[in-house]
Chain A
Amino acid sequence: MDRHHTTIQPIGPFFHFLTPEWGTSDRTPGIMARPDARGERIQLKVRVLDRAGKPVTNAMIELWQADANGKYDHPADTQDKTPDPDFQGFGRLASNDDGLCIFDTVKPGPVPGLDGDLQAPHISVSVYAPGLLRRAVTRIYFGGNAANDSDYVLSLVPEDRRGTLFAQPGAEPGEWDFDLHLTGPCETVFFDI
Chain B
Amino acid sequence: MSQSRLDLENQPGYVYEPYRSTAARAPVQPLVFLPHTLSERTGPVFANVPISESDRDLTRQHAGEPVGQRMIVEGRVLDDDGNPLPNTLVEIWQTNAAGRYRHALDDFRAPLDPNFTGNGRVLTDANGKYRFLTIKPGAYPWNNHANAWRPAHIHFSLFGPSFVSRFITQMYFEGDPMLAYDPIFQSVPDKAKHRVIAPFDIGLTEEKWALGYRFDMVLRGPDATPAEPS
| B168 with A182: CB separation less than 8 A | no
Min CB distance A151 to B, Å, is 11
What total of chain B residues lie within 8 Å of the partner, measured CB to CB?
77
Taking the complex as formed, is B5 at the interface, i.e. its CB lies under 8 A from any CB of chain A? Answer: yes
Distance (Å) between the CB of B103 and the closest chain A CB? 5
Docked pose: A106 CA to B195 CA in angstroms: 40
- Check: A82 CB closer than 8 A to any chain B CB: no
Mask of B66-85 contacts with A, CB within 8 angstroms, 1/0: 00000000001010101000
The secondary structure that dominates the A interface is: loop
Q: How far is the CA of A41 from the CA of B168 in the complex (A)?
A: 31
Distance in angstroms between the alpha carbons of A153 and B40 in the assembled complex: 12
Complex CA–CA separation, A50 to B7 (angstroms): 25
Contact A18 B218 (CB under 8 A): no
B35 to chain A, nearest CB (A): 6
Within the assembled complex, what's the spacing in Å between the Cα atoms of A47 and B151?
Answer: 32
Given A10-B184, A14-B106, A133-B19: A193 and B42 interface contact (C-beta under 8 Å): no
Please state if A111 and B39 are interface contacts (CB–CB under 8 Å).
yes
What mask results when residues 158 to 183 of chain A are scored 1 for a CB within 8 Å of chain B, else 0?
00010000000000000000000011
- CB within 8 Å for A51 and B24 given contacts A8-B167, A134-B12: yes
In chain B, what residue has the closest Cβ to A122? B39
Task: Say whether A98 faces chain B, with CB atoms less than 8 Å apart.
Answer: no
B169 contacts A7, CB within 8 Å?
Answer: yes
A17 touches B34 (CB 8 A): no
Q: How many residues of A contact B (CB 8 A)?
A: 70
| A37 adjacent to chain B (CB < 8 Å) | no
A23 to B76, CA, bound (A): 23
A156 at the interface (CB under 8 A from B): yes
Contact between B4 and A9, CB atoms less than 8 A apart: no
* A93 CB within 8 Å of chain B: no
Instruction: Please determine whether A50 and B25 come into contact, CB atoms closer than 8 angstroms.
Output: yes
Residues of B within 8 A of A30 (CB): none
Could you list 5 further interchain pairs (A-B, Cβ under 8 angstroms) beyond the known A90-B43, A113-B37, A134-B13? Answer: A7-B195, A51-B25, A187-B27, A187-B29, A190-B32
Q: 14 pairs across A/B with beta carbons < 8 Å?
A: A6-B217, A6-B218, A8-B168, A14-B101, A16-B103, A77-B42, A130-B21, A133-B13, A133-B184, A182-B27, A183-B29, A187-B29, A191-B32, A193-B40
Chain B interfacial positions (CB closer than 8 Å to A): 3-7, 10-14, 16, 19, 21-29, 31-46, 49-50, 76, 78, 80, 82, 91, 93, 101, 103, 105-106, 117-119, 155, 157, 161-164, 166-170, 184-185, 187-188, 192-196, 216-220
